[in-house]
Structure 1
């Protein structure tokens, strides 16, 4: 999928989108968000919405303290919830794949999650292939692999290109067929080239259990690794001031095409929460791990799972954080660096879609939202190509 930018404008206007349709597309999400808040508040005050009753749709897991935790503290996977993570596996290339101990440790980390977005995959995915072999080593010959993966093409303006990847537990999660693509923003090094590495997008759905009556959770993940030199300052070259347009247009497109309303922008953004720029100014957007440090040196917050808390109510409050594999594996700081200089960030969600508050509001809200977002999606579609 590609984004068509205005090549004549050298600096972005606050009042116009990079796609030239921002007044419509950008305000769709915030408008719906604001309307949703008012409707929810009114319903709660009048008693039409029983907010506590919505808790039955969420998992029963206890909240996790907002500090780095061990893998053991995560507990076993539950049929009621799913666990999503993002992990920058520093220079995940052939050299790392030749270190069996390190690869076993990485596989042990990844196996704790249902879907993992990975950044810094290199060497044509050699290390990713090796990781999949380890994750599936207990599968009988001829059996269906427990874990699956999908990888992007190499991305970047320089010769030091990287791939994105998603790895998921196929016993619990399914990739929506043909849902993966890379957002392109212009020819490399042209005036319309705003992102060093364009994000990779993929949609997933929880596999329903036998006799399950509730609708399984479906969601779209946007995997991103920003350039650390291009996320500073308030300018058109700050990638955080581009990602808000990308995020809003992806969700307008996906909603118009598939009715999708749950999105997660995940990855190594190379900024902390106060520096999320225009991406962080989207109403409802929250970084689920907050200000926890996400590098092994424990002095920087680089990695995030960002969602719109108003629309993605499946998030289980208190069930997000950072996994400190350094202490968990009992390795030295140097041994930890052999794995990565980043820690995994995770969040848990209900395995089921959270329904609208009431049948009456469901009809009204879905109809009005569908009309608005389909309109925006169709306009965006004129500038998006698969």
Structure 2
């Protein structure tokens, strides 16, 4: 009987891993023409992103628009049973320096109902969008295979010089999303530059996103999202809001993915891919509660 119970527990764990939905955010650091031409780098990127059901790729800097389609082509070749599609933002930035956000996702795992830039979402208070060097890119998704079916993803990459101000302004983004879609279930993820020299401990503690108990910071200051061995900073974060979404998170799944260690890369080899690690979190599958009852 003990063996049977143990077997059921092991099967439950395997099922949880197999059918949960992995959400990732990855600052690929100047992802453009040069990296797209580097076969080794693109091969590593393909392995990293293929682990995720939905990824927010940041710092896409490709005026020709060729790097992301090439990556998606490699992803679809890598695992032909899981086809990917993608959504891209406008090229964003106040100066000649422009970036794009890109969401890529497995077609069979979720559906994107709507996409919007914060400027379009918040037309009544358009001046608020000037707080951001690159305004957030927001999608509303339906995930039929997880406990949480409907949620909003807010992707953002702060300007290092104004990281604290932009993070504080993200509270207004949550309010605008709530007003438009009447949902509590929201996930904010991306490179917020939320540590070390860009923000102070006191500044972080005073943030509305930190003071309000409805927001849960899944990536903490103790975790390292940087590749360089001499740096230990939690720049990249995942923040969730809404009791349904919070209870739908697989415990302990929120963490950076150390691809340098996973793929046995030197620091220099890893830095050719990015100076950031992706951050990730898993959503519980729809049958999670039944398995726990066993």
Q: Does the 8 A contact of 2:118 with 2:129 survive in 1?
A: no
Q: Please name the residue that 1:329 is paired with.
A: 263
Following TM superposition, by how much is the alpha carbon of 1:92 offset from its aligned partner in structure 2, in angstroms? 0.7
Runs of at least 5 residues in structure 2 that lack an aligned partner in the other structure: 1-10, 290-294
Q: Does the 8 A contact of 2:147 with 2:283 survive in 1?
A: no
- Equivalent position SS for 1:106: helix
Following TM superposition, by how much is the alpha carbon of 1:281 offset from its aligned partner in structure 2, in angstroms? 2.2
Give the Cα–Cα distance (whole angstroms) in 2 for the partners of residues 77 and 120 of structure 1. Answer: 29
Give the Cα–Cα distance (whole angstroms) in 1 for the partners of residues 181 and 288 of structure 2. Answer: 19
Following TM superposition, by how much is the alpha carbon of 1:251 offset from its aligned partner in structure 2, in angstroms? 2.1
- Equivalent position SS for 2:265: coil
Distance 1:82 1:145, change over 3 A: closer
Q: Does the 8 A contact of 2:147 with 2:284 survive in 1?
A: no
Match of 2:137 among 200, 213, 218: 200
Match of 2:283 among 339, 349, 356: 349
Runs of at least 5 residues in structure 1 that lack an aligned partner in the other structure: 1-58, 63-74, 209-213, 233-237, 356-386
Give the Cα–Cα distance (whole angstroms) in 1 for the partners of residues 288 and 215 of structure 2. Answer: 18
Q: Does the 8 A contact of 2:89 with 2:137 survive in 1?
A: yes
Give the Cα–Cα distance (whole angstroms) in 2 for the partners of residues 201 and 265 of structure 1. Answer: 9
- Equivalent position SS for 2:250: strand
**In the TM superposition, what are the counterparts of 1:24-63 in structure 2 within 5 Å?**
60-61=12-13
**In the TM superposition, what are the counterparts of 1:1-386 in structure 2 within 5 Å?**
60-61=12-13, 78-79=18-19, 81-124=20-63, 125-137=65-77, 146-176=83-113, 179-184=114-119, 193-208=130-145, 217-232=149-164, 238-255=165-182, 260-272=183-195, 274=201, 275-276=203-204, 277-291=207-221, 292-297=223-228, 298-308=231-241, 310-312=243-245, 313-352=247-286
Distance 1:346 1:60, change over 3 A: farther
Q: Does the 8 A contact of 2:29 with 2:59 survive in 1?
A: yes
Q: 4+ residue runs of structure 1 moved beyond 4 angstroms?
A: 59-62
Aligned residues: 263
Distance 1:285 1:198, change over 3 A: same
Distance 1:304 1:191, change over 3 A: closer
Following TM superposition, by how much is the alpha carbon of 1:138 offset from its aligned partner in structure 2, in angstroms? 5.6
Distance 1:254 1:98, change over 3 A: same
Distance 1:181 1:126, change over 3 A: same
Q: Does the 8 A contact of 1:286 with 1:309 survive in 2?
A: no
Distance 1:350 1:191, change over 3 A: closer
Distance 1:139 1:306, change over 3 A: closer
Following TM superposition, by how much is the alpha carbon of 1:204 offset from its aligned partner in structure 2, in angstroms? 1.9
Distance 1:268 1:285, change over 3 A: same
- Equivalent position SS for 1:109: helix
- Equivalent position SS for 1:316: coil
Following TM superposition, by how much is the alpha carbon of 1:310 offset from its aligned partner in structure 2, in angstroms? 2.9
Alignment deviations for residues 98-149 of structure 1 (CA, whole Å, 9 cap, x no partner): 0011001001000111111111011144211111010112677xxx970111
Following TM superposition, by how much is the alpha carbon of 1:282 offset from its aligned partner in structure 2, in angstroms? 2.6
Give the Cα–Cα distance (whole angstroms) in 2 for the partners of residues 192 and 350 of structure 1. Answer: 34
TM-score normalized by the length of structure 2: 0.81
Return 162-171 or 289-298, whichever deviates more.
289-298
Following TM superposition, by how much is the alpha carbon of 1:328 offset from its aligned partner in structure 2, in angstroms? 1.1
